[in-house]
Homo-oligomer: A and B are copies of this chain.
Amino acid sequence: MADLNNLLTPLFLNEKEIRKIIELMFFSYRDFTSGPDRVLEQIKFGRAHHRVIYFVGKRNNLTIKELLKILQITKQSLSRVLNQLVKEKYIILSIGEDKRTKKLTLSKRGYDLEKKLSNIQINKIYNVIKNFEESDINSFKKVLYKMIDINNQRKFDEIN
């Protein structure tokens, strides 16, 4: 690694400045998830449920395998959450063309919950970025994108 405290290093590459970014990531992510968390608590769901309905909502007819690839958790971890969402009719299962696969779709109920939860985050982000120049937001997105591991950048590209 380069010597981050070298006098020739630009100021913004100093360890102190980088540690600020570490803290910005920690604090911003925590506040970013806290809104939906409070709503989820009331219906006895957790953050994991939000993630599932978020990505199912984004891509209807997602298979379990595709969902696991996005979430990067084990199928055992997913199963508890997914079974609850299916049992409580937020998500509808159907058989795929390949009959081994199952397709996941949001019901109206699931769609409404997805909207309710994601809108909290969408509004929060909207209220932040509306006060910036488009160029600031583009920089923000570019940098955040590069913070993702290279193989997961590809996954992000696939779903977008």
Contacts and interface: CB of A to CB of B under 8 A. Distances in A.
A141 B26 contact: no
Contact of A144 (B1, B24, B122, B152): B24
B134 A144 contact: no
A24 B142 CA distance: 10
Interface in A22-75: 22-32, 34, 51, 54, 58, 72
Interface residues on A, range: 35 or more
A139 interface: yes
A139 B135 contact: yes
A116 B149 CA distance: 20
Contact of A145 (B2, B13, B24, B121): B24
A121 B118 CA distance: 28
B122 A22 contact: yes
Interface in A108-144: 118-119, 121-126, 128-132, 134-144
Scoring A10, A32, A155 by chain B CB atoms within 10 A of each residue's CB, the highest score goes to: A32
A25 B28 CA distance: 9
B27 A148 contact: yes
A149 B147 CA distance: 22
